[in-house]
Structure 1
């Protein structure tokens, strides 16, 4: 699913009106009907307060109020402005609403704020996605009152006051804090950024039938990767496939006190389908890796406690480096030599490998192509500089991926996979139980396995991130998020493959 800036969505709306063709008021009716159906599924009973602004978002709200009244619900409408200030389509819906018996419409004022019944469910239709400056005056006071009332709020298309993309210049106190947001046709980029979670709540995208041709033809730098898109990446090995066909992976992991990272990444790599795995560990980690992961071959470093070298890369199809390796001088030297030796061989770099790269900027000059890096926000900030918001960090990551020609897996609630051309794919699987030690090591193992099997770096990143999240989601059938640990996620990798194939 493409994600468009709000200016492009407005253009897609206009194209639909001209080329479906459909009158703008009828397109509004279609959107309002879609919202009404989803809203009544979420809240089948109870009284409703509808907040309507002057624009087309307010027109949607007035149409929804009419539908609820005709359905027999108790509805009170609060209008932010008088009818003479409504947009053309909003005015028409206001006039339609006025014909309904028992319709109560209150023109909002500061004195009328407390007239909103906080026992009602509130439908927020004050302002839409075209807003480009913070709310002020009566609108701001109304938003503050709603936010302080502990009332259930469902926003139409976007929470009022929230900008569709960058909210750096916005006033958080002027944004509705919705429990649900029912968005039309596409999610807004702002929905996928951490700083906006409190405003958006649980968001849902509803198809309102915008013209498919213009959607297909309009390019976008962002995509929301749903299950269907990801399932198309997954290959089906043939009956005569043998372990050599599934690739030989090399994992460089572990140091004294951090052998657990090597174990977790190794197990995940094997569970994700690598035909062969060699794990290179410090000498004192030999017994641990051989005992904990008997399916992996062990390659032993000359150092007892850290990684200072790596084997000849010729026999391996892909390389993973970073989990638990530390950043001692000998390891940093080995990392430099590894960058020189990769020569385009597919690789994934995580954890301490990224910390080493952040300590020596000169290493980026040696970075070969065909590499995935998997930073969490803190690790990325160490690589590219501190960001003041998730939006700013995302823009930096898009530029970083283009400049350094690496695929970035920027980990988070909607992990962003950013290609070398800057195109961004947000992931749709996963839950907060993944915020646990070792989860990133498991992801490294999954990505390494997919690279060894011959997936491209972009395919491996998108598919691996989704499988990682799906494995965690499958745990929720019998486990709370708080109880999830990395080994639990690894135990469900096979089920995640099976589920995605179905």
Structure 2
């Protein structure tokens, strides 16, 4: 699914009006009907008090039309209009007249100077004050209203956008933004829904297809692509019958040091569980027995050095190197890392300590094979890119780095974002239980195995991130968020792939 900008969505509205030969008020009525149906499905006529706060623009027009449908279906609705100026939209005025035809309890016009209306804990609040057209922070009485609504325990529903939140630009700390429990977004989600400083305001969100011009949507160059189950299904490559392990590639993990061999085990385990034909672990001599006793399916090569890897030398052919988990940053290890990346012909997956080495030795970046994948968390990313003011600036820095070096960045987070040049891919799977030690080591193993099986590195990164998150989602159904650990995520990779195409009765973990 495409994530479009506020400007693009406005253009899509206009294109829809022209091509479908409908008026803007007809399009607004379509939107209101769809939102009402979603709300009605949940409330089912329950006699809960509903307070709808409307602005005087098109978002307010949506709110008035929704209110009219709710009144006609017997809901207890009270409408408040933030009548702070005379700049009312034409569509707002039409719906203001229409609601008077269905109720004697007309909307309350607030001059934005009087006392703010009382809100009870049992109320349902529908926010239709400002939509995607907002281009400046909310101030004054309106900011006080937003704060008053936020302080209440009422359930809050946002129409298209929580008021005060920008669709695709940062806000300043302290800006007045309504904190919704649920947001109905029109046609596409907004980029701000997926970023840590802004996503907390949307609560859960739901995208409603309002029938905008499909030709415009198809041709539009999106801010990002949202990767959900349907998109992941299209990336999956099924196996042919007459194949053997050599057809599914060879992953070489260069990982582990004394006290951090678990990272190497998790990475290699994930590569096996994701279907690599062969996995070999290049480990320090102190880690050889740990690896072989933990994973009998994995071959080992002992690097020079007992507590940490001090060199890189092997005779394997056409391997996909995954380097970094638990590696350490000893001077000899840095030299071994430099030798490793300079010896690679195939794209490499670089994680953890290997990223920290690049940050300390940026001259090595030029030796990384093109189209390689780096999987940093924010702390590691800052070593590469420097500090940023907000997530939008972080994304721009990542785009620049990716473009300059022809590398793919996987920015790990609640919604992991894969950056390939100017293109962004936002992942829709995963849960807070995956914020646990070793989860990133599993991800690097997943992506490595997919590259070894012939996926191009961008697809491997995007698909791998989705499968990694889906594995965590399935594991959490049995173990809860609090009970998740990295080895469980790895063991649910197989069930997650099955889950792409069918709902298994029980997602049983693989045995490692």
> Do both share a fold (TM > 0.5)?
yes
**Aligned residue in 2 for 1:373:** 374
**Aligned residue in 2 for 1:155:** 158
Select the residue among 209, 212, 215 that pairs with 2:211: 209
Give the Å deviation of 1:476.
Answer: 2.7
Q: Deviations over 1:213-235 (max 9, x none)?
A: 01111112411112111111100
Distance 1:23 1:230, change over 3 A: same
1:83-162 to structure 2, matched below 5 A, reads 85-108=87-110, 109-162=112-165
Q: Deviations over 1:431-480 (max 9, x none)?
A: 01110000001001111111111111101001100000000111232221
Give the Å deviation of 1:118.
Answer: 4.3
Distance 1:319 1:188, change over 3 A: same
**Aligned residue in 2 for 1:339:** 341
**Aligned residue in 2 for 1:494:** 494
Distance (Å, rounded) in 1 between the aligned partners of 2:72 and 2:274 = 54
Distance (Å, rounded) in 1 between the aligned partners of 2:446 and 2:2 = 26
**Aligned residue in 2 for 1:238:** 240
Distance (Å, rounded) in 2 between the aligned partners of 1:138 and 1:151 = 20
Output the aligned Cα RMSD.
Answer: 1.5
Unaligned runs of 5+ in 1: none
CA contact (8 A) 1:165 1:189 kept: yes
Does residue 175 (structure 1) correspond to residue 177 (structure 2)? The answer is yes
**Aligned residue in 2 for 1:468:** 468
Q: Deviations over 1:47-105 (max 9, x none)?
A: 10000001000000000000110110000000001796421011100100011134341
Distance 1:73 1:83, change over 3 A: farther
**Aligned residue in 2 for 1:360:** 361
**Aligned residue in 1 for 2:80:** 78
Q: Deviations over 1:213-263 (max 9, x none)?
A: 011111124111121111111001111111010111111010010000011
Q: Deviations over 1:91-137 (max 9, x none)?
A: 10010001113434111244341344443100000001111110112
Distance (Å, rounded) in 1 between the aligned partners of 2:388 and 2:236 = 35
Question: Which one has a larger percent helix, Structure 1 or Structure 2?
Answer: 1
Does residue 292 (structure 1) correspond to residue 317 (structure 2)? The answer is no
CA contact (8 A) 1:134 1:171 kept: no
Give the Å deviation of 1:32.
Answer: 1.0
Corresponding pairs, count: 499
**Aligned residue in 2 for 1:400:** 401
CA contact (8 A) 1:318 1:347 kept: yes
CA contact (8 A) 1:318 1:451 kept: yes
CA contact (8 A) 1:144 1:173 kept: no
CA contact (8 A) 1:59 1:89 kept: yes
Unaligned runs of 5+ in 2: 503-512
Distance 1:299 1:377, change over 3 A: same
**Aligned residue in 1 for 2:328:** 326
CA contact (8 A) 2:284 2:303 kept: yes
- TM-score norm. by structure 1 comes to 0.97
- TM-score norm. by structure 2 comes to 0.95
CA contact (8 A) 1:49 1:117 kept: no
